[in-house]
Amino acid sequence: MGDDEVIVLGTVFSMFSMRVRVALSEKGIKYEYREEDLGNKSPLLLQTNPIHKKIPVLIHNGKPICESLIILEYIDEVWKDKSPLLPSNPYQRAQARFWADLVDKKVYTSASNIWRKKGEELEEGKKEFIEVLKLFEAELGDKPYFGGDRFGFLDVALVTYYNWFQAIEICGNISIKEHCPKLMAWGERCMEKESVAKSAADVKTVCDFIMVLKKRNGVA
Ligand code: GS8
């Protein structure tokens, strides 16, 4: 697999495209990263993801794969010799997929309350966000990673939110750490991994971007 051509279409802020970059780095796969301008999508993005027209897209030897969690499974299957992400046990594998799906169904939507709502609705939204994170706090328990002793599939799926959590603490004026100390300690632990640290946008940049989103939505 040494001669593979691997291209990732993404944006620097996207937690979805960061997943792909973390997984490829964990596997030690070299790739070409192409930053997309979502206001002016490239012909390659429109051609490789004609249905959703969204990033990320992984293009492996000319073949496109879309949807970040599906891309993670693909990467794990193709480069299976190093750093397995999904557990080998079918039940544990199903659980990892369930929780990763919950990240997309609940974490993203409840986090977006912060940049979509104001006043009373924002306060309610913040509570909902914390309640969702508490589910993950409980699932993590005292394990170092969601994958147990090893950084795995759910770790990759959720860790790309960690810089957003930190940014939300600053510009959303909430302490996530107070309610979910284990989850935030897990995030810090993951950031010690080179694969995560080098793929993450810095917190200040995410904070500035959240302010842009708030203005765009008329809530700032
Ligand atoms: C979500 C990708 C997505 O929302 C996945 O890959 O997991 N379920 C998909 N991508 C956004 C940028 S990140 O917020 C995107 O490409 N948006 C462009 C658009 O909606 O036009």
Q: What distance in angstroms lies between residue 178's CA and the mean position of ligand 1's atoms?
A: 30
Sheet holding 6-10, edge to edge: 32-35, 6-10, 57-60, 63-66
Angle between helical axes of 68-78 and 15-27 (0-180°, round to 10): 10
In this prediction, residue 85 carries a pLDDT of 98
Q: Specify the pLDDT at position 2.
A: 64
Ligand 1 site, residue 160, Cβ cutoff 6 A:
no
Q: Does any ligand 1 atom lie closer than 6 A to the CB of residue 19?
A: no
User: Mean pLDDT, to the nearest integer, of 172-201?
Assistant: 96
Query: What would the mean pLDDT of 148-153 be, rounded to a whole number?
Result: 97
* Mean per-residue pLDDT of the chain: 96
> Per-residue pLDDT for 1 more than 60?
no
pTM of the model: 0.96
CA distances 36 to 109, 113, 179, 184, 196, Å, are 23, 25, 35, 30, 20
For residue 56, cis peptide bond before it (omega within 30 degrees of 0) = yes
Q: What is the pLDDT of residues 80-129, one digit of tens each?
A: 999 999 999 999 999 999 999 999 999 999 999 999 999 999 999 999 99
- What are the distances in angstroms from CA 42 to CA 28, 64, 122, 125? 27, 14, 35, 35
Does position 174 have pLDDT exceeding 70, yes or no? yes
149 contacts 140 by C-beta, under 8 angstroms: no
Q: What pLDDT band is residue 3 in, cutting at 50, 70 and 90?
A: confident
Domains of the chain plus CATH, in order, are 6-78 (3.40.30.10), 90-216 (1.20.1050.10)
Determine the residue type at 33.
Y
Cβ of 38 below 6 Å from ligand 1:
yes
- pLDDT, tens digit (0-9, with 9 covering 90-100), for 12-59: 999 999 999 999 999 999 999 999 999 999 999 999 999 999 999 999
The reply to whether ligand 1 has any atom less than 6 angstroms from the CB of 14 is: yes
Looking at the chain, the number of H-run helices and the number of E-run strands are 13, 4
